[in-house]
A and B are shown apart, each in its own frame.
Chain A
Amino acid sequence: AQKVTQAQTEISVVEKEDVTLDCVYETRDTTYYLFWYKQPPSGELVFLIRRNSFDEQNEISGRYSWNFQKSTSSFNFTITASQVVDSAVYFCALRAGFQKLVFGTGTRLLVSP
């Protein structure tokens, strides 16, 4: 069975602070894909990144960076110099084989000015 755990329910930071959102996953499949989505108050889920199980390279995109560690089954997401527009719910998700996309419970990020 697949499972994604996002232990942080809500995080509050002040603008320009760095913040890391944790994601821990469980799967018995050797080939799987991990995703992060952002859901602003408007409701639409915005795709941020996909990572496959064979690629443990960290990735940076502007202020966003992702740290994938198979040894700890974690796929953490860091926002550097946070901005008010980063306020949203962030979902980590996992998919393997023909299984459905499994979401974590989400982390609500509040960035105040």
Chain B
Amino acid sequence: DTEVTQTPKHLVMGMTNKKSLKCEQHMGHRAMYWYKQKAKKPPELMFVYSYEKLSINESVPSRFSPECPNSSLLNLHLHALQPEDSALYLCASSRGLAGGESRNEQFFGPGTRLTVL
């Protein structure tokens, strides 16, 4: 099973709402990632979790709050977003072997298309 699932597929929220994006993988991967992708642009890394610990935060505003409850799940909590945060949010996972992580391909989910009104 080489699948990463994400829910919801689409999300529309107001600037005062609180919502969460969810990601799940059952490949035994120990590294999980959140990316943001604007239209006609490549994905931009937001966060990396390695062995359930946050290892990279790419200077993401605090209105985005990641959480890794266990090795299979990754959440992204959203609060007080701005219209410019509208984008496709992609989750990915990889094996996460220490020292050799760069060789491991990342497997991506289908994404959540977020619209902030």
Residues of A within 8 A of B (CB): 31-33, 35, 37, 42-47, 50, 52, 91, 95-101, 103-106
Contacts and interface: CB of A to CB of B under 8 A. Distances in A.
Given A101-B45, A103-B43, A106-B42, A43 B102 contact: no
Interface in B9-28: none
B66 interface: no
Chain B, interface SS category: mixed
B102 A95 contact: yes
Interface string B88-117: 101010000000011101111111010000
Interface residues of B, number: 22
B78 to A, nearest CB: 18
Interface of B: 40-43, 45, 48, 56, 58, 88, 90, 92, 101-103, 105-111, 113
Contact of B42 (A50, A98, A103): A103
A44 B48 CA distance: 19
A47 B106 contact: yes
A105 B103 contact: no
Given A45-B90, A103-B42, 12 more contacts: A32-B102, A33-B102, A35-B105, A42-B110, A45-B108, A50-B105, A95-B103, A97-B102, A98-B101, A100-B48, A105-B41, A105-B42
A100 B103 contact: no
Given A35-B105, A101-B106, A43 B111 contact: yes
Contacts of A44: 90, 108-111
B42 A104 contact: yes
